[in-house]
Structure 1
Amino acid sequence: MRDEPLTPADRAARAASGTILVSAQSHFGGIAEHAHYQAQELARRGFDVVMLCHRDHLLRPTAPLYRRIPGLRRSRRKGFLGRLVAVAAMAFNFWLLAWHMVRLQPRFVLLDAASEYFAPLWAWPHILLHATGRIYLANLHDPVRSRHFGPEWLHRWSLRLIYALLDGGLVHGPVPAEAGLPASLALGLAPLGPFEDTYSHPASPDLRQRFGIPATAPLVLSFGHVADRKNLDLLIEALADFPQVHLLVAGASIGSTQKQVGDYRAQAQRLGLADRVHFDDRFVADADIPSCFAAADLVALTYRSDFVSQSGVLQHAVAFQRPVLVSCGPGPLRATMESFALGELVEPDSVNAIADGLARMLAKPENRAAAFSAYAEASSWRANIDALLRLEEKVRDQRAMPAS
């Protein structure tokens, strides 16, 4: 169903409530989805929402209720030159955000994610804007900011800069102590909501046939970017104990520093599992997501112990009522599994733990409809935006307090 276009009276009413500027630096994937649905819900509440984004940011079937400024840039080149252009584009995007903040004077700016990457190149105008009263809020999808490149001193400097401009952040669950968030940063607890547009696409009935998976064979799905943090090597090794079970890895590799799909394909070949481990090694478009989950019997989220965030794949699994096999460190995903009976939670980084959890799920399938329903009710964009607006009020109250 498409949302109705705005009338001039609607736009006037929204302008009176103040503009909210959403910075959508990610153009695809879970973070981009999250920003889109937040903007939609804010617009439904009557706010004038403007999203600064890439030109190809989530070309969706649902008409946006918010305004878009498709001015962000990114590099499409490869190699060293491509990396330099990517850094320059990132800096340009944040300077462009600063310009639009000056131009629009928003009620607050909402960053789609709190990324500190190369902050010394772009943080300064935002720190100045923050000092003059602008409010910065962010989605802290991953509050534990590990160093991924460069020297440690640069990483720490970048973190200090991003936290110098942030007033508050939304988190999806308990924040691990190692996150080291400053005490001055106001926090709000907000759930992930459902990816509604995705579920409007019909599921194709021929996915199993396309990969040669028998209709009666149990099928485990690992969905999303192929990344080391997902422990796919351990999941594939555990599959050796289950001669009837098939695994579908649906997603593209994410970078040269990570194991590639070819590495996992070679591992399956060495273990004699090539006929039961299947790869759809591409970015899976929205229209194809329902087919993957409808064909699967369960979904594997076998993260490493250093994964302490939430997983957008869980939203897909719940929407299609597919139980999940989960491992992870302490954080929102673990808290969710401890609160809702959505599947099996096992210790991370262990082939035996994965195999034991899989054995339990296959031996005794449970009716988890009530748990899926309870989780879906607790995890909505309505609740997410309620938390965001409470966070804004909290920040305003803190700013109004006299300095001690």
Structure 2
Amino acid sequence: MRLRDRFSNFLYRQAEKRGWLDDYKRSIRYGGRYVNDENILESSDVYELLQDISNQMMLAEIVVVDESGNEMKNDPAIRIMSNPNNYLTQSEYIKLMTNTYLLQGEVYPVLDSNQLHLAANVYTELDDRLIEHYKIGGIEIPSFMIRHIKNIGTNHLKGVGILELGKSTLEGVMSAEKVLTDKYSKGGLLAYLLKLDAHINPQNAAQSKLIKAVLDQLEAIDESRSVKMIPLGKGYSIDTMKSAIEDEKILAYLNVYKKDLGKFLGINVDTYIALTKSDLEKAMMYLHNKAVKPIMKNFEDHLSLLFFGKNSGKRIKFKINVLDFVTYSTKTNIGYNIVRTGITSPDNVADMLGFPKQNTPETQAIYISNDLSKIGEKKATDDSLKGGDDNDKEKGNEDV
């Protein structure tokens, strides 16, 4: 590991001298996307699904384990992951990485000395030896500093995200939502139609004056409680013009196609919503097994290679406490079951309660408290129950 670190630091110093790190850091700093037709986060339903998935990832504990699965508490990778850089916390970094992965289908974590970043505008290609090369602004980044995490589809070089998978569905949903939002933010697009029996004549001063007066009156209505009296001459009438936007049809469209977007995130929205209403723990476990676990495994593989290389037995692991998804009453039941099992562990108690004996040295000994401190062998305990020494026996006989 020390040799690899020295080599990495050497290449890092050479890169600094050549100046390409400035381009790379500039790409990270200004790597944001402009809000345009891909601004899916404006859709509240999709945003909620993304939040549910990325929040589970954010709440996971990140640890380092050795080849035997034992946690390594003081590994440098833990310190870097807990404080990845100067502008993101660990929680923000994991959440951003997850959302980018889901939306764009790929994300690029970069290990820059003792800081971890997410690079943007990265160009990748395979050479003749099938080695992937990474470039930012035409400058190549050493492969040991960066990983290409892909939401893999059928392309070995590029991941697929919801922005690509659900593009046509997204465009329809976003447009429908915008139409409804604009309609009600602008007062329902209420319009009026002035009907005339005669043709409108621009040269008719009286007619023009009447039309202008009607328009002025209508435009002056600034709230729903306002009432305007508009006197009209013979042959004139004002009717409300029905809005071309039909709410029911748009809502029916959204009810169908919004659910389709969940499939691109790996879950069935109908199933998920039904579970959230009936059993929140089951809903969280459904989300965890269907969407979160595959992401965790992919992140673990790439981050382990980024930090330790392919010849190391150490791995980055995401640990999620499943008990976080259960209610307090369920945790109480779990505790009750553990205590009940503990009560029946000693053979003499198991026999007394009608459970089968385990006949092991541990179950034949007597323990006290939950730290299982042995207070005596079964034989010694049996002897003490028989009365101890001879004086006690004689005293016992006298009492009888």
Please state which band the TM-score falls in when normalised by the shorter chain: under 0.3
- The structure showing larger relative contact order (alpha-carbon pairs under 8 Å, at least 6 residues apart) is 2
Greater helix content: 2
| The structure with more radius of gyration | 2
TM-score relative to the length of structure 1 = 0.20
Output the TM-score relative to the length of structure 2: 0.20
